Structure 1
């Protein structure tokens, strides 16, 4: 049976938090990917924005797991996640040039089963295979200002339209814009296309992506210009999630750089340069 990617990603998306000791906390979003380890055995990888973990200066964060109860209800059951060693060194892997981080986690069995297979991350040809372009709708999951959908700690599902052109190749255009409001806590959440989005008319025309949808990238920033929020999110292409996960097994091979000039969009270049990274 083809899975509903929206529902599956809701189960795979978790809140990340660390108390600051003054009654406040740093909050971000992460999601779980299932991928083979160096020995071929399956492992669970937590993906988020690098700045989310970087802002957490204590050795342990909390990852917001949820428990399904026999009566059909759910309980929020966060667990500690070690992100730094005793000397404060980072234990996660970060992409060398993009705001993407990955760390292998020992998730509860139900969460390990909920992790999304690696092949659901968009490749360089996925957007073309799905005919995704400017104006098409994508969905995003996150915890804006640390708010969850309910007491069980499920993420909030929202949507927006692709607000920039072109979307590829990813080496030339590593990020794209999504027209929706971004708040602290959204960073690190998955941005995706689901087969359930029938109104958009998005269907695959090749085998370049799974038929139920794909993860387009992760939310890394909001756009600000002159200290004004423009209600536009910056999404980092899933290619860089793939590369970050690959770094868990060793350095990436060098590839020739592709340099391209982005088309002029009023304020977009300056806004991207001045965008404030929200936790």
Structure 2
């Protein structure tokens, strides 16, 4: 069945993400990344955003994306490339150890997919879509959010598209949760969701903090999912003899690091590689 063209905001959101598999000598983990397309003298620089804990300790990382039928149309198949020799020289983390954001330049991965015979189909966020402090201050304390990713490694095996989920802010975006550049969302966050973009997306109409209703759509990149709050639960284990097991139970409160922290990480990536900052990019102080 032919699908409609990729043209709406919602369509584009499904092609912003990358499925990540990270391999250490003893384990495989999964996560989400997303692309921001920064302007540069040479045209543009693709930056992949995810979490530090997705890349930490990885020696090989596989990236999977929808394949392109052509520049305007995705194919009903995927494209995957494995990066060997992956390590600390490949990516940069946010300078603050308490801020779980990692970033890497992504053009070489895209080129490897193209050279392998299956170019990826993607739509990167633009840096001007990172939510500004002024926009955040115009939002209400509770707003609906959308996140895109691969919870528990799930995605559409036919179209290779990620999963979109909705929730709401659990702390105001304009506040810093626990004195970190972060806020909470009331949404189901599972392993594999780490690194998912969290966006403000309203279609048709939206209401601002002053109660006025506006026609049209709005979309802003609010941050990146990093973790979920848990609570300890005791349960009886029925085996040969009964015992008490303690395990963590997710309570559907996700921790999201803000757009300003994303921008700080991108600037650190450029500095670490001796590159000038992207063109016409706002300072992180101006972002929420």
* CA–CA distance in structure 2, aligned partners of residues 72 and 52 of structure 1: 27
Once the two structures are superposed, residues 135-174 of structure 1 have per-residue CA deviations (whole angstroms, 9 ceiling, x without a partner) of 2100001101101034332110001011113633699551
Tell me the SS of whatever aligns to 1:250. helix
Once the two structures are superposed, residues 17-49 of structure 1 have per-residue CA deviations (whole angstroms, 9 ceiling, x without a partner) of 135688x73110000110134x45311111111
Is 1:83–1:90's contact at 8 Å kept on the other side of the alignment?
A: no
* CA–CA distance in structure 2, aligned partners of residues 137 and 117 of structure 1: 21
Once the two structures are superposed, residues 40-81 of structure 1 have per-residue CA deviations (whole angstroms, 9 ceiling, x without a partner) of 5311111111111115x22x3111121134797410111123
Once the two structures are superposed, residues 81-123 of structure 1 have per-residue CA deviations (whole angstroms, 9 ceiling, x without a partner) of 3572xxx434101101111111001225875862111111112
Distance 1:33 1:203, change over 3 A: farther
Deviation at 1:194, TM superposition (A): 1.7
1:121 equivalenced with 2:122 (yes/no) = no
Deviation at 1:190, TM superposition (A): 0.1
Once the two structures are superposed, residues 157-206 of structure 1 have per-residue CA deviations (whole angstroms, 9 ceiling, x without a partner) of 001011113633699551111111111000001000124274x535999x
1:51 equivalenced with 2:21 (yes/no) = no
The structure 2 residue matched to 1:234, chosen from 244, 255, 259, is 255
* CA–CA distance in structure 2, aligned partners of residues 235 and 135 of structure 1: 15
Query: Any unmatched runs of 5+ in structure 2?
Result: 1-6, 212-216, 233-247, 273-282
1:151 equivalenced with 2:158 (yes/no) = yes
Is 1:133–1:167's contact at 8 Å kept on the other side of the alignment?
A: no
* Between structures 1 and 2, the one with greater strand share: 2
Could you list the structure 1 runs, at least 4 aligned residues long, displaced by more than 6 angstroms after superposition: none
Higher relative contact order (CA 8 A, sep 6+): 1
User: Which of the two has higher C-alpha Rg?
Assistant: 2
Is 1:45–1:103's contact at 8 Å kept on the other side of the alignment?
A: yes
- Give the length in aligned residue pairs: 238
Tell me the SS of whatever aligns to 2:13. helix
* CA–CA distance in structure 2, aligned partners of residues 204 and 217 of structure 1: 24
Distance 1:101 1:19, change over 3 A: closer
Tell me the SS of whatever aligns to 2:254. strand
Is 1:83–1:92's contact at 8 Å kept on the other side of the alignment?
A: no
Is 1:67–1:77's contact at 8 Å kept on the other side of the alignment?
A: yes
Superposed, 1:125-144 pairs within 5 Å as 125-128=134-137, 131-144=138-151
* CA–CA distance in structure 2, aligned partners of residues 123 and 171 of structure 1: 20
Superposed, 1:23-62 pairs within 5 Å as 25-37=28-40, 39=41, 41-55=43-57, 57-58=58-59, 60-62=60-62
The structure 2 residue matched to 1:176, chosen from 183, 188, 199, is 183
Is 2:67–2:120's contact at 8 Å kept on the other side of the alignment?
A: no
**Which has the larger displacement, 100-109 or 215-224?**
100-109
Query: Any unmatched runs of 5+ in structure 1?
Result: 206-210, 258-279
* CA–CA distance in structure 2, aligned partners of residues 20 and 151 of structure 1: 28
Is 2:19–2:31's contact at 8 Å kept on the other side of the alignment?
A: yes
